[in-house]
Amino acid sequence: MRAVRLPPPAPVDNLRLTTLPLPPERDGWVRIRVEAFGLNRSELKLRLGLSVGVTFPRVPGIEAAGTVDAAPAGSGLVPGQKVVAMMGDMGRTYDGGYAEYTSVPLSQVIPVDTDLPWEVLGALPEMVQTGYGSLTVGLALGPGQSVLIRGGTSSVGLAAAALATWRDATVLSTTRRPDRLALLKEHGVYHPCSTPVKSRPLYASCTRTVSTPPSTSSARRPRRPRGPARPRRSRRAEQGDARAGHAPLAAGQRADGDAVSGAGPARAHTA
């Protein structure tokens, strides 16, 4: 099969198209015929040698979309079925999506039923799970609540805006470019805000009073789930967090570094 392989970390010219054996069938693993894969920022970091725990040579690619080529008995997957795969050390400790075939643990495979073109589907897994996870696991965003998305024009920001609107929340999104405010509006953002590149605080133009749009749902506004009591922190400590980049309510951002900070723009290459 054709694959892009990286020897040890090196300049981009060292990403070479090469021929490799088909990944062998393995117990508990699914071999996917790759139709498209996303290009992610974490793969740039991998190539530059900034990723921890990666072994080389390596076929990069932390996500892929395609069809099942071989699956373990009893997995429920059948050859030809459309699937996407992502994360779980894919393209880091075992070969990833930059190839005609990739083999990944069954747990990383998600069956999909869609007519989207491959190049669109290939761009979605990382981006959508990042936006969705930020809103659900990260924020427990519910109907009637508001969310501020910094970097709203990013692929993750636009996905998060669509998903938050879908959850009947009010979306505020920022861009540093006033000419992109209309784009945010077109994507369902109720309050597009422009933030000058070096403004402090970051959300300067969002500090006006925000009205909530009429709800499209009859659901009552839920209370935020109460977690265990947390020690109060001084305003100075909170400001320190913001300066260090731990800004609140920023979809598409995660604290645990390389494994998830990865994805770049939502572009997909067909394999």
Q: Binding of ligand NAP at residue 260 (CB under 6 A)?
A: yes
Between 23 and 151, name the residue whose CB sits nearer to ligand NAP: 151
Q: Please, which residue, 103 or 155, has the CB nearer to ligand NAP?
A: 155
Please report how close the Cβ of residue 119 comes to ligand NAP at its closest, in angstroms.
15
| Structure letter (DSSP) for residue 58 | B
167, 143 Cβ separation under 8 angstroms: yes
Binding segment (CB under 6 A) for ligand NAP, from list 19-27, 123-131, 163-171, 221-229: 123-131
Q: CA angle at residue 90 from 162 to 23, to 5 degrees?
A: 130
- Pick one of 127, 141, 193, 268: the residue that binds ligand NAP (CB under 6 A): 127
Give the three-state DSSP class for 183. helix
How many C-beta atoms surround the C-beta of residue 52 within 10 A? Answer: 9
Which distant-in-sequence residues (6+ apart) come within 8 Å of 145 by Cβ? 169, 170, 221, 222, 224
Is residue 3 a contact residue for ligand NAP (CB under 6 A)?
no
Question: Which residue intervals of 70-226 are DSSP H helices?
Answer: 118-121, 124-133, 155-166, 181-186
Residues 129/130/131/137 CA torsion (nearest 10 deg): 90
Smallest separation (angstroms) from ligand NAP to the CB of 22: 28
AA letter at 137: V
Residues from 43 through 72 that contact ligand NAP (CB under 6 A): none
Q: Considering the complex, state which of residue 154 and residue 165 has its C-beta at the smaller distance from ligand NAP.
A: 154
Regarding 173 and contact with ligand NAP (CB under 6 A), the answer is no
Omega within 30 of 0 (cis) for the link into 265: no
Residue 26 interacts with ligand NAP (CB under 6 A)? Answer: no
261 counts as binding ligand NAP under rule CB under 6 A: yes
Min CB(134)–ligand NAP separation in Å: 9
Q: Please pick, from the candidates 103, 145, 155, 165, the single residue that binds ligand NAP as defined by CB under 6 A.
A: 155
Is residue 164 within the footprint of ligand NAP (CB under 6 A)?
no
Counting residues that bind ligand NAP (by CB under 6 A) gives 23
Query: Would you say 68 or 250 has its CB closer to ligand NAP?
Result: 250
- The burial class, CB within 10 Å (0-12 / 13-18 / 19+), for 256 is exposed
Choice from 87, 156, 161, 271 touching ligand NAP (CB under 6 A)? 156
CA distance 214 to 221: 12
Q: List the x/- string, 175-194, binding to ligand NAP by CB under 6 A.
A: xxx--x--------------
Q: HEC states along 198-244?
A: CCCCCCHHHCCCCCCCCCCCCCCCCCCCCCCCCCCCCHHHHHHHHHC
90 scored as a contact of ligand NAP (CB under 6 A)? no
Residues 6 or more apart whose CB falls under 8 angstroms from that of 208 comprise none
Applying CB under 6 A, which residues contact ligand NAP? 40-41, 126-127, 130, 151, 153-156, 175-177, 180, 252-253, 260-266
